[in-house]
Structure 1
Amino acid sequence: MINIYNESILVCVYYGPNGERLIKRGCNIAKMLKAPLYILTVDEKPFDELDAEKVFYIEQWKKIADEHQDAHFIMKDNEKRPVSKVIAEVARKKNVTQIILGQTAQSRWQQITKGSIINDLLHDIPFVDLHIISVSRYIRNDEGLYEKGVRAYLIKEGNHYKLSFNHTKDSVYEGIFFKEIGTDFDNGLFRFMKGAETLQVQVCDGLVTDFTNIDASTAMSLNDLDNE
């Protein structure tokens, strides 16, 4: 692909369902401008200390990047510097001209939408256009909705799928299970990749009988994910 407009796009994502939306926005802009696309996430922990939920999102983002021409995934783990400094460094190295950020309060990225951090970015990389994208909100654990997600699998059994927390040769889908708080049964939501599509389906007593995608952000009143 010839970059006729001399543009380069950087999408900054954090864990949660909004990352995929931001990446798709970046893909559309990159395709329109025939520009390279970089997908960046930052974590203060080393990669081998990340939990199953975070690793799942990273795997999703890598897969999306692999499916788009001239898209590259960048993971900055064990990073103690301010997020704005990391973004600026990547922007300089990759000759980025446009940055896409999600307007979210998730973890360290809540700083991004505050004026001081935006000013830091504008000061450090004044040659870059910043796009602040409004995003839907996510599950907050202390609202009594769902427990922290854990890695799980779906095994085909007749006309339905059985939830399992152990990987076996019969595992069909791998994803993250969010258990409803206050129940002794495996009721909740299972999020996984089916081909190029991300699905979130209902789990009732450890079984999935319907692959209808559930949009939890609109079906319930949800808030931002807590800092860890």
Structure 2
Amino acid sequence: MKYVKGRIDEAILVCVYYGANGERLIRRGHKMALMADCPLYILTVDPSPVDAFDEEKSRYIERWKELSEELQVEEFIILDNEKRPTPKVIGEVAKKHNITQIIVGQSAQTRWEEITKGSFINVLLREVPFVDFHIVSVQRPGTHEPFERFEKGVHAYLVKNGDEQYKIGFTCPKHTSIEGIFFKEIGTDFDNGIFKFTFEEKMYELDIAEGSVTDPENIPAKAKIIFA
């Protein structure tokens, strides 16, 4: 299904493979697409034909389709029985849909693992040199500890940037702000990561995409009052 978006000069592509982190990547892409008011595409590639998928693969595909409808994704793309190199396939899809940003996951358990290695990225950059890449780290299978996901934390400030919109800054602002620590995700040139701060002796964590808070509902109500 096609959905009308405000911007047509931006488009985001999320590449997913089977595993629990696929939904997380899709939701991350959805937040970014909402902020940019641009189309979001979901891509999964498999060397086997769809009719040969086992129950587990089929379950993931169905869930991603449901999620795509729920989040009003522009298009869920599944390329099965695909024998071409993955970078070639991603590049072809990116060019067809005028993609400007690509999100991929970093995981040791999936076929997308190679995406995080320099040789693959170099090939992919040659295929689609016109896009920005977001490499999102995910959890190891069977553990609750993530990979090294963030750079060393730096001091930052949370400031209000309009109605229910908040952003982070790195110099002390003259207007009201909340001081905290920003942890930037490894592998991105943007201010993507998490912002942690303490308020009334309780620790809070906010997701940050391109310098803006994507989940302002997680800011405590009393903290929002100080921005009024």
TM value normalised by structure 1: 0.59
2:64 pairs, out of 61, 66, 70, with: 61
Which of 104, 117, 139 is the equivalent residue of 1:101? 104
TM-score normalized with structure 2 length:
0.59
Question: 1:70: Cα distance to partner?
Answer: 4.1
What is the Cα deviation at residue 6 of structure 1?
1.4
Q: Which residue of 1 aligns with 2:93?
A: 90
User: Quick one: which amino acid aligns to residue 30 of structure 1?
Assistant: A
**8 A contact 2:19–2:110 mirrored in 1:** no
Aligned-pair CA distance for 1:139: 4.1
Q: Which moved more, 1:67-76 or 1:7-16?
A: 67-76
Root-mean-square deviation (Å): 1.5
Once the two structures are superposed, residues 156-214 of structure 1 have per-residue CA deviations (whole angstroms, 9 ceiling, x without a partner) of xxxxxxxxxxxxxxxxxxxxxxxxxxxxxxxxxxxxxxxxxxxxxxxxxxxxxxxxxxx
8 A contact 1:17–1:138 mirrored in 2: no
Instruction: Determine if the alignment matches structure 1 residue 38 to structure 2 residue 41.
Output: yes
* Counterpart check, 1:127 vs 2:134: no
Structure 2 letter corresponding to 1:92:
K
Counterpart of 1:109, as a letter, is: W
Query: CA shift at 1:75, angstroms?
Result: 0.3
- 1:1-228 correspondence to structure 2 within 5 Å: 1-4=4-7, 6-139=9-142
Secondary structure of the 1:112 match is helix
CA contact (8 A) 1:97 1:129 kept: yes
CA contact (8 A) 1:27 1:68 kept: yes
- For 1:11-51, what per-residue CA distance to the aligned partner results, in whole angstroms no more than 9, with x for missing partners? 00010000000000000001111111110001100000010
Return the offset for 1:105.
2.4
| Larger relative contact order, structure 1 or 2 (CA cutoff 8 Å, min sep 6) | 1
Quote how far apart the aligned CAs of 1:84 are.
1.0
User: Percent identical across equivalent pairs?
Assistant: 59
Shift of 1:104: 1.2
CA spacing shift, 1:75–1:5, aligned 2, 3 Å: closer
How many Å apart are 1:95 and its aligned residue?
Answer: 0.4
How many angstroms apart in 1 are the aligned matches of 2:125 and 2:44?
Answer: 19
Preserved CA contact (<8 Å) 1:16 1:138: no
Structure 2: runs of 5 or more not aligned = 144-228
Q: Which residue of 2 aligns with 1:207?
A: none
Q: State the Cα distance separating 1:55 from its structure 2 match.
A: 0.4
Which has the larger displacement, 37-46 or 3-12? 3-12
- Note the C-alpha offset of 1:71: 3.0
Letter in 1 for 2:88: K
Letter in 2 for 1:83: T
- Aligned partners of 1:106 and 1:40: how far apart in 2? 18
Q: Secondary structure at the match of 1:6?
A: coil
For 1:11, the aligned partner's letter is V
- CA distance change for structure 1 residues 108 and 2 in 2, over 3 Å: closer, same or farther? closer
